[in-house]
Structure 1
Amino acid sequence: MAHDDALYRQVLNSSALTFPDGAPVARLMRKRGFETERVAGPDFMEEVFKLTARDGRLSHFFYGSSEKTLALLKERLNSRFPGIRIAGMYSPPFRELTKEEDEAVTERIKSSGAELIWIGLGAPKQEKWMFKHKGAFCGVMLGVGAGFDFHAGTVKRAPLSWQRLGLEWLYRLISDPRRLFKRYLVTNTKFILYTAGMGRTGSKRKKK
């Protein structure tokens, strides 16, 4: 997506930290000499929830998804991670927020005092939202895509065997083809073509 979207590319390049959430990206990075592993959003969230529930020092705010999903998420987090501090939640409308609405929710997040602000709007919307609100909060913003749904139990994750094979994307596509067809088949095809082009460019440079 960043290849075709200049703003999204700028957003990713200016982020404090970007994890390779997909197995193909992690593999490509290793192939190019980077020591990295895939860091799936839901797994990262799980570890952070465990740590913060244990010491109780940091609180969480969840921005995104539906009110139903957020309610289930809160219930499950309190059950699975006793001691976790949830400072607030907000389910935005599907449309663009008005200036007044955006200012109100920004103040709501700020007033909550949350140190960890989870954004679950999906890419590239969540990254652009965080870029727009950079510096608005004292807390750290973390974009996690469908992480809310997985932890709320409204969407089932791929079996571990599929995850280990790097096929979680395929499992999700089979589970929800109507919504994910374009994202995975079209975007993934572009990714393969772009990286193949990068490989040819790299080979030409080596020959020189």
Structure 2
Amino acid sequence: MIDLGKFNVLGINVSAIDYESAVQQVVEAGRKGEPLAVTALAVHGVMTGVGDREHQYRLNQFDLVCPDGQPVRWALNRLYGCGLSDRVYGPNLTLKICEAAAAAGVSIFLFGATQEMLDGFAENLGAQFPKLQIAGKRASKFRHLTVAERDELAAEIRSSGAGICFVGLGCPRQEVFAYEMRERVSMPMIAVGAAFAFHAGKLAQAPPWMQRLGLEWLFRFTREPKRLWKRYATTNPAFVSLFALQKLRLYKRHPEAGVKPQSDVLFG
């Protein structure tokens, strides 16, 4: 079990952690009813914080920022010698948390995506983990919520009896949601993005060899070129360039350089 703490990658404090430690912390917090904000960031997720000082602040308030992408893991290893042998991939983390939650008797809540996707996700989780209790699920409205709607949703999640809430709204909306709702629901909020689509059978995952080589972005690009071309054409080169400059000590951005958001209009 590995948890070496957090390390500055382009101004974002990323957790040098493995699956076992992340799962243990999430399930323990869920069992105790304690708030915990968790996300798994690939290159795009890190760069959302680099390009937005308020979002940098949000990400650096998270309890766990897992290295979802291989380049993020490589950055931890090459900048700080962390020696991580594997990333903590959001879709895999989701299944490992569900397995441990089922064994511990901690129920879950699913928030985000469409009703069809949620139903497929819940059905597949139930088939894979028969003892897993799904206390509730709510599809996204795909718009900004009013304060009353936010409070109603928080009350629904709390009253469901769930100990852990998975959030699938896409990056960075899911991180904003987890940041804003953590204290309101007093349970682990796990921002896992595409895990909903993957495990509902709506989106194909890259072959293992592409994942190992850090080429998952290429696989996803071939599936959704119109939606993803701009993201990968800008964020990937920017990450590599800034990482090289940080390695050479020519780029220094302190995690405390973020600006606390004055208010958030919650998307949900």
TM over 0.5: yes
Alpha-carbon distance in 1 for matches of 2:213, 2:243:
20
Match of 2:59 in 1: 12
Secondary structure (helix, strand or coil) at the match of 1:92 reads coil
Question: Runs of 5+ in structure 2 lacking a partner?
Answer: 1-47, 252-268
Which protein has the larger Cα radius of gyration, Structure 1 or Structure 2? 1
Higher RCO (CA 8 Å, separation ≥ 6 residues): 2
Quote the offset at 1:54 in angstroms.
3.1
Q: When the two structures are superposed, what TM-score results if normalisation uses the length of structure 1?
A: 0.92
Task: For 1:136 and 1:115, locate their aligned partners in 2 and report how far apart those are by CA, in whole Å.
Answer: 13
Counterparts of 1:3-152 in structure 2, within 5 Å, are 3-32=50-79, 33-36=81-84, 37-55=86-104, 57-152=105-200
SS at 2:184 equivalent:
coil
Equivalenced residue count is 202
Runs of 4+ deviating beyond 4 Å: none
CA distance in 2, matches of 1:87, 1:197: 47
Deviation at 1:187, TM superposition (A): 1.3
Shift of 1:202: 5.5
Post-superposition offset of 1:161: 1.6
Alignment partner of 1:157 out of 205, 211, 214: 205
- Which is further off, 159-168 or 10-19? 159-168
More helix by share: 1
Determine the structure 2 residue equivalent to 1:199.
247
Question: Given that residues 102 and 129 in structure 2 are in contact (C-alpha distance below 8 angstroms), is that contact kept between their aligned partners in structure 1?
Answer: yes
Q: Residue type of the partner of 1:157?
A: Q
* d(CA) in 2 for partners of 1:35, 1:199: 16
Q: Distance in 2 between matches of 1:108 and 1:159?
A: 38
| SS of 1:142 mapped into structure 2 | strand
What residue identity is the alignment partner of 2:123? E
- 5+ long unaligned stretches in structure 1: 204-208
Q: 1:137 corresponds to which letter in structure 2?
A: V
Identity among equivalent positions (%) equals 36
- In structure 2, C-alpha distance between the alignment counterparts of 1:134 and 1:70, rounded to whole Å: 21
Partner Cα separation in structure 1 for residue 63 and residue 76 of structure 2: 18
- Give, as a single letter, the amino acid of the residue that structure 1 aligns with 2:225: P
RMSD over aligned Cα, in angstroms? 1.5
CA distance in structure 2 between the partners assigned to 1:183 and 1:58 by the alignment: 37
Aligned partners of 1:191 and 1:75: how far apart in 2? 37
Report the CA distance between 1:159 and its aligned residue: 1.1
TM-superposed deviation, 1:138: 2.5
Q: Does 1:2 align with 2:38?
A: no
